[in-house]
Chain A
Amino acid sequence: MDTGKNSARKSSTAASPASVARRKFINSVAAAAGGGCLLALGAGLYSRQAAALPAQALRPPGALPEADFLAACVRCGLCVRDCPYDTLKLSDLGEPVATGTPYFTARKIACEMCDDIPCVKACPTGALDRQLTDINKAQMGLAALVDHESCLNFLGLRCDVCYRVCPVIDKAITLETHHNPRSDRHAMLLPTVHSDACTGCGKCEKSCVLPEAAIKVFPRQLAQGALPAHYRKSWEEKARHGGSLIGEQVEMPARGFEGSTAGRAATEAVTAPTGAAPAAPSVPPPPAKTAAGINSRWKP
């Protein structure tokens, strides 16, 4: 109020050109600075939201960590142009990926992992890091077999397609043999992803035969957990030091498996592979517990 009176008095006494100009200047500065602040605020809020990639958007090989990538990528599309397989596309305004930045969707077109990595070579700014010269070291994402209920190998079939198409076959995806507790006499060969070798190219997700892929590739931070920094794996330490670090341990007998179901037989076979153990698996499982499964009572 006070300032209002002041300015009113001033304008009534002498509306000098200087004061008019000053008022105009202050007005325009306030409006423009307000606009500038709004822009900065809006952009800041946006960038916080966009710092995390949506789950199905993968960056090209060699992409810097997302926060650095968004600082470096000028959205020129040169990587898109030099991709021989039209894998990459630029995000449009309104898509959840930062406007104009390159990404690909594994289920649509996966990365073919070119040996010469033309997209990285094309990048003028270093948003795609030229230190990546071996495409097998790319970390575009990480595959995860997310749907154990639909994956045909989990159902006991030998689909294996994701394993077969993997460009880093037997390193990034292996088939791990597991006992099939449902039939109790078959194996399940489960596609298993290894994060140290998976490049995130997306060929597994692209080729999954199901209408909706059971194996999917995610940006690494979504698909990968992390152990606390101080954790050590005993078996790794043991291998490194050529023996246990805490000396020989007393082997304790495993108890509590009396009358176990067939599904547990495998566990027992591992823990007690010798001597009297074979008696346990031969015990027929209680029919009530495996009513859904077929049980011929045949045992190897």
Chain B
Amino acid sequence: MSMATTTVSSASGCAPARSLWQRQRWLILRRASQLLILLAFLSGPWFGVWIAKGNLSSSLTLGVLPLTDPLLVLQTLVTGHLPYSSALIGAAIVLGFYLLIGGRVFCSWVCPVNVVTDAAAWSRRRLGIKTGRVPDANTRYWLLGGLLLAAAATGTLAWEWVNPVSLLHRGLIFGMSGGLFVIAGIFMYDLLVASRGWCGHLCPVGAFYGLLGKKALLRVAAPNRKACDDCMDCFAVCPEPQVIRPALKKVGQESPLILASDCTTCGRCIDVCDKQVFKMTHRFDQRSE
């Protein structure tokens, strides 16, 4: 990934140089996670080794483990159709996982669109593009309501017509052509119109998983916040920069934990911080140096 070369200023300072692994660890792990999940679906059609069948909408892993997107099942229920138990069980497993681990962990560790929008954000920083108009970050919740309304009004899974998340993942596994225009559109939108526009402001799928992750266990914290030298690297690289301040600068909270459910737990702030302010931890870890 070209993302691996991301560095934003901060060659200054006399902290001991950190290794590539220290600087890119979480990014590498995330890309590996996204890639491995994709490969689990592709090993069957490519090499005849079936690990996971289907796609992120619904899948069957090793012939026994059903996994279904709970948002899709919710829409199906809204249309008035009751799915078979395998879809319901699959949705319950996914729901439980993200409730427990972290809702938007889906966004940064699983979703393939994340790679596209990360690339757009990286290009935007690199090219110094400052133009554009960013929609309100709450738009995604309206869109989430809108897609449920559309499902109820039309009696079909109307959102699935254009849903870039399922479109891209399905396309990567089953082949795509027309869907590429939507993905290219998202890239151009994030690059030219709105910084982090899609994932951070519009995507109703991310909004749904964000709502799931309100009380999730896996959190990024800033235990070493005393060491912060205000270089702003973490703000520049964070896909949801507003989540950092409460933890880092004690705004409205004492806890060093980043508790906002918008946080995708991508760990990029941990990577870029030369002062090693951040770390990955759990919800109950209140330690602060």
Which partner residue on chain B sits nearest A38 by CB separation? B146
**Interface residue stretch chosen among B176-184, B186-194, B216-224, B254-262:** B176-184
State which residues 13-39 of A face B: CB under 8 Å: 27-29, 31-33, 35-37, 39
- Is A113 positioned at the interface, with any CB of B under 8 Å from its CB? no
Counting CB contacts under 8 A, is A68 at the interface?
yes
A195 nearest CB across to chain B (Å): 27
Q: Residue on B with the closest CB to A72? A: B81
Contact B157 A36 (CB under 8 A): no
Stretch at the interface among A93-101, A177-185, A252-260, A280-288: A93-101
B170: nearest chain-A partner, CB-CB: A100
Residues of chain B contacted by A36 (CB below 8 angstroms): 142-143, 145-146, 149
Contact of B92 with A by CB under 8 A: no
- A71 contacts B150, C-beta separation under 8 Å: no
Contacting residue for A74 out of B57, B147, B162, B179, CB 8 A: B57
B246 in the interface, Cβ–Cβ < 8 Å?
no
Interface 1/0 per residue, B46-76 and A, CB below 8 Å: 0000000111011110000010110011001
B166 close to chain A: CB less than 8 A: yes
Interface SS of A by simple majority:
helix
Question: Given the interface contacts A71-B155, A93-B162, does A39 sit within 8 Å of B83 by beta carbon?
Answer: no
Partner of A124 from B84, B142, B151 at Cβ < 8 Å? B84
Give the residue name and chain of the B residue nearest to A76 (CB). Answer: B58
| Total residue contacts A-B, CB cutoff 8 A | 178
Q: Measured between C-beta atoms, what is the minimum distance from B89 to chain A in Å? A: 9
Q: Which of A39, A74, A81 contacts B76 (CB 8 A)?
A: A74
Q: How far is B176's CA from A93's CA once the two chains are assembled, in angstroms?
A: 8
| Bound-complex Cα distance A100 to B174 (A) | 9
Q: Is the CB of B175 within 8 A of A92?
A: yes
- CB-defined contacts of A89 to chain B, threshold 8 Å: 174
Residue B123 interfacial (CB < 8 Å): no
Asked if B167 lies at the interface with its beta carbon under 8 angstroms from chain A, I say: yes
Residues of chain B within 8 A of A50, CB atoms compared = 156, 161
> Nearest Cβ distance between residue B208 and chain A, in whole angstroms?
14
Indicate if A157 sits at the interface (CB-CB under 8 A): no
How close is B180's CB to chain A, nearest CB, in angstroms? 9
Interface centre among A72, A90, A95, A130 (most CB of B within 10 A): A72
Q: Which of A28, A68, A71, A93 contacts B179 (CB 8 A)?
A: A93
Is A263 positioned at the interface, with any CB of B under 8 Å from its CB? no
Do B174 and A77 touch across chains, with their CB atoms under 8 A apart? yes
User: Cβ of B177 and Cβ of A94 under 8 Å apart?
Assistant: yes
Question: Count the A residues whose beta carbon is within 8 Å of the partner chain — how many?
Answer: 47
Of A41-49, A148-156, A234-242, which stretch is located at the interface?
A41-49
Q: What is the distance, in angstroms, from A136's C-beta to the closest C-beta of chain B?
A: 23
With contacts A32-B135, A78-B53, A92-B175 known, is A43 near B158, CB below 8 A?
A: yes
If A32-B138, A92-B177, A100-B170 touch, whether A125 touches B84 (CB-CB below 8 Å) is: yes
Considering residues A29, A35, A51, which has the most beta carbons from chain B within 10 angstroms of its beta carbon?
A: A35
CB pair B171 A92 closer than 8 Å:
yes
Q: Which residue of B44, B86, B158 contacts A81 across the interface (Cβ within 8 Å)?
A: B44
Residues of A contacting B181 in the complex (Cβ-Cβ under 8 angstroms): 93-94
How far does the alpha carbon of A90 sit from the alpha carbon of B72 in the complex, in Å? 17
Chain A residues whose C-beta falls within 8 Å of the C-beta of B86 in the assembled complex:
124
Q: Sort chain B's interface into a size bin.
A: 35 or more
Closest partner residue, chain A, to B78 (CB atom): A71
B139 contacts the other chain (Cβ, under 8 Å)? yes
Let me know if A73 is at the binding interface, CB within 8 A.
yes
Closest to A98 in B: B161
Chain A: minimal CB distance from B128 (Å): 27
Interface centre among A44, A51, A92, A93 (most CB of B within 10 A): A93
Q: Write out the residue numbers on chain A whose beta carbons fall within 8 Å of the beta carbon of B54.
A: 76-78, 81
**Quick one: which of B80, B143, B156, B175 contacts A32, CB cutoff 8 A?**
B143
The answer to whether B178 and A75 touch across the interface, beta carbons within 8 angstroms, is: no
Bitwise, B78-94 to A at CB < 8 A (1) or not (0) is 01111110110010000
CA distance A186 to B43 in the complex (A): 59
For B240, what are the chain A residues with a Cβ–Cβ distance below 8 Å? none
Contacting residues, chain B, for A78 (C-beta < 8 A): 53-54, 58-60
Q: Which of A48, A73, A90 contacts B174, CB < 8 Å?
A: A90
- Contact: A100 with B160, CB < 8 Å? yes
Please give the residue numbers on chain B whose beta carbons come within 8 Å of chain A beta carbons, in ascending order.
Answer: 44, 53-55, 57-60, 66, 68-69, 72-73, 76, 79-84, 86-87, 90, 135-136, 138-139, 141-143, 145-147, 149-151, 153-162, 166-167, 170-171, 173-179, 181-182, 202
Question: Can you report 30 A-B residue pairs in the complex whose CB atoms are below 8 A from each other?
Answer: A29-B138, A31-B136, A32-B141, A35-B202, A36-B143, A40-B146, A40-B149, A43-B147, A43-B158, A43-B162, A46-B161, A48-B154, A67-B156, A71-B76, A74-B73, A75-B57, A75-B160, A76-B59, A76-B68, A77-B53, A80-B174, A82-B53, A92-B178, A93-B167, A95-B178, A98-B156, A99-B160, A100-B160, A123-B84, A126-B84
Nearest 8 pairs between A and B by C-beta? A36-B146, A94-B178, A43-B158, A76-B58, A28-B136, A32-B142, A71-B79, A70-B156
Other contacts beyond A32-B136, A47-B156, A100-B170: 13, CB < 8 A: A33-B142, A43-B147, A50-B161, A73-B157, A75-B157, A76-B54, A76-B57, A76-B58, A76-B59, A90-B170, A93-B178, A100-B166, A124-B83
